[in-house]
Structure 1
Amino acid sequence: MVRSMKTATVFNHAGGAGKTSLTRDIGYELAQAGSRVLLVDLDPQASLTRWLGIRDVSLDETVYAVAVENKPLPTPREAHGLHLIPSHVTLALSEAQISGQIGAVLTLRHALQKVADQYDAVLIDSPPSLGQLAALGALAADMLIVPVLTQQKGLDALPGLQSALELYHRLRPELRVGLYVPTMYDGRRLHDREVLEELRRHLPDLARPVPFRGAVWLDSSTAGQPVGVYSAGSPVHQDVLQAARAVAGALGVPGPEVQA
């Protein structure tokens, strides 16, 4: 069977929408469902790297040389059945260097194409910005997965988000949003319910909301483990499985089983 690698960038220029948690946990569940998964941490804060329990990263293990020198991808780290290109705080230095080079924002896409026979799914954790690293990640993708807070902050971010998506679409007309994922949802709050209805009116391809269950998300990140490892079978894990199944459907890769 011929397998075709699919690449999605988890993108939102506003922070706090749950991008990194979704990247880690959905990546883990896709791997558990049988896909060969590569994660790419593009955020100089390196939360994805830490939240997978990876420490002592050097700059040459990141996408730095890919972005500024058009080099191949470095050898990835391995954690929990996943491959990861980690990040480092000094990756931020690449922002200015990318902007000074014509075509540099496409170098990650080119590098990923060279390993297309090694992976079924690539998930890229984009930094919460509209800078060069965010463009690098967005333009490397076949589609964008966009988490959106079910709070006023999420609604306020939509105009800037749409402007960014229009820009990226002009640079790569085939790029599209595969899925919007409402996050941090608390159905007990009227505000969250109203925002969710507003999102449903304005956004196509809206997944089921991911409920806010802060303690397990925080504790699993502190432990450096995906939720599926740290708290398998818990309500939070069931939330993750639902989100992973939706993302798998958008990507066209096998998804996890979800309990009824």
Structure 2
Amino acid sequence: MANNLANHTAIVTGAASGIGKEIAFKLLDSGVTVYALDLDEKKLHEYYSGRQDKAVPVGIDVTDEKKVNEVFQEIIQKAGKVEILVNCVGITGETNIQSHLVDTANLQKVFNINFMASFYTSKAILPHMVGNKYGRVLHLASIAGKEGNAGMLAYSASKAAMICMAKVQGKEYAETGVTVNALAPAVIRTPLVDMMPEKQVTYMTEKIPMKRCGTLEEAANLALYIVSPANSFTTGFTFDLSGGRATY
């Protein structure tokens, strides 16, 4: 089958919770060996201890470029070949706050985790994928990166940067067998969303024509296609997962 992922190897960041965890589990169920990366090493071992035949938990701060380079080289040496990178690590930062009240340090923290970390990981793996003439990179963005959510300057701007990075990288590596895409969910019920003020969640949900949140399974199902061999002619694209909110 064109979308057969068996015997592939993937690196998933933010794999200890939310969409990252769901995608990692979906990949494991598809026969993929998954290096599950997250800062929360305790949760990683808790969630993946029963999947040691295919899951390798790796505690790491992916905002540390030097550490990312070291760990990725170790993974490449151990695995031999890495076909998939999924960047799911992310935070919302302070929300429900007007731009002139945004704390600069908080904005920089959000960019470091959401954008810079994904830049570091893709920078570390792309030469390897290009050398193998095959690869799938997926950056988890957000509908906020397309439309800009009021009260969420740091988050919206960082996700917009991820979308643009996917466009740039998709074009740069289009002839190499490597695809780079983004996924832009609307509100998905995750621990990250649960920590947000209910007023902010309501504001976002009311914009969705389906009038509901997306599910983790829906996000993982679409991600599975994006990183599969079947997705061979789409790159630099942002896949919509918004219940009809973003139809462009």
Q: TM-score range by the shorter chain?
A: 0.3 to 0.5
Q: Under a length normalisation based on structure 2, what TM-score does the superposition of the two structures give?
A: 0.48
Q: Under a length normalisation based on structure 1, what TM-score does the superposition of the two structures give?
A: 0.46
